[in-house]
Amino acid sequence: MSDRKNVFLFYKKNDELEEKIQEIRKIGRKYDYRLVDHPDDANIIASFGGDGTFLQAIRKSGFREDALYVGVNDGRLGFYTDFNTNDPEKIEMALQSDQTEILKYPTLEVDVDGMQSFQCLNELSIRSQIIKTFAIDVYIDGLYFETFRGDGMVVSTPTGSTAYNRSLNGAIVDPKLNGMQLTEIASINNNQYRTLGAPLILNHDRELVLKIVQDGNDHPIIGADNEALSIRHSHEIKVKVSNKKIKTLRMKDNLFLHKVRRSFL
């Protein structure tokens, strides 16, 4: 952390937050941190807001592998935000002590029709955009696995497993396990259509291919974390665990299991 001094602040401007950020800026200046106007010039990118703002900070800055991302929440504790605008003392402590550590979070690498590729930190989601089911042929490492028909499918990272995936009854995955999880959104299971009907956790070296069956309803929405892509018509979506990771700063006393217990138990 000490060799990184150029900081970009990512947040939606509002008067109340601006006031709190002024306080944090003062602390930064005290320890020789410099604010930069563009994320490309930063080696620390700090987001102020919820988990959604943290996800946007990473996406808008291009999933920089050479930058350190820091999530500062605005009062409500999140999964990616270890610091709090209401607790500037803790931020100051983090800047000068050994109470923090750098974590590397796995991401997904997604390719759509060989034309567009992008990363996800939480999940890739594919959903019907009309009140009609659509079908996906699922292939794993080139092997035909199943044909899904329903509302959609989600492929999540371990850190994303506590987000959308959890609402779909997916398993919560320890981020120390490197892999991806496929969950269904309201699959139809009857004599005509049959899917696994359970979350499927795949090792990091697998390749998942989701082929949208071209049967009329073949314009699903593709979501990368909390952003819908502007792809209107897709055929084949390849998903792999990326070898690019995101570096984040977290307090040593705020482990994944603390967050799971605090949020869900």
In the numeric block, the tokens 């009857």 are attached to: 190
What is the C-alpha to C-alpha distance for residues 215 and 187, in angstroms, rounded to an integer? 17
Q: Is 175 in the site for ligand NAD (CB under 6 A)?
A: no
What is the C-alpha to C-alpha distance for residues 157 and 205, in angstroms, rounded to an integer? 13
Span interacting with ligand NAD, options 25-33, 107-115, 156-164, 207-215, rule CB under 6 A:
156-164
- Asked if 11 and 47 touch (Cβ cutoff 8 Å), the reply is yes
225 marked ligand binding residue: no
What is the C-alpha to C-alpha distance for residues 240 and 231, in angstroms, rounded to an integer? 19
What tokens does 208 get? 């998942």
For residue 104, list its beta bridge partners: 247
Q: Is 107 in the site for ligand NAD (CB under 6 A)?
A: no
Q: Is 151 in the site for ligand NAD (CB under 6 A)?
A: no
Decide if 51 is catalytic.
yes
Q: Is 163 in the site for ligand NAD (CB under 6 A)?
A: yes
Selected from 78, 106, 150, 158, the binder of ligand NAD by CB under 6 A is 78
Active-site residue (options: 3, 41, 51, 113): 51
What is the C-alpha to C-alpha distance for residues 184 and 206, in angstroms, rounded to an integer? 18
Q: Is 167 in the site for ligand NAD (CB under 6 A)?
A: yes
H or E, element range at 241: strand 236-251
| 204-233 footprint of ligand NAD as x/- string (CB under 6 A) | ---------------------xx-------
What are the residue numbers of the active site?
Answer: 51
| Contact set with ligand NAD (CB under 6 A) | 50-52, 55, 78-79, 122-123, 159-160, 162-164, 167, 225-226
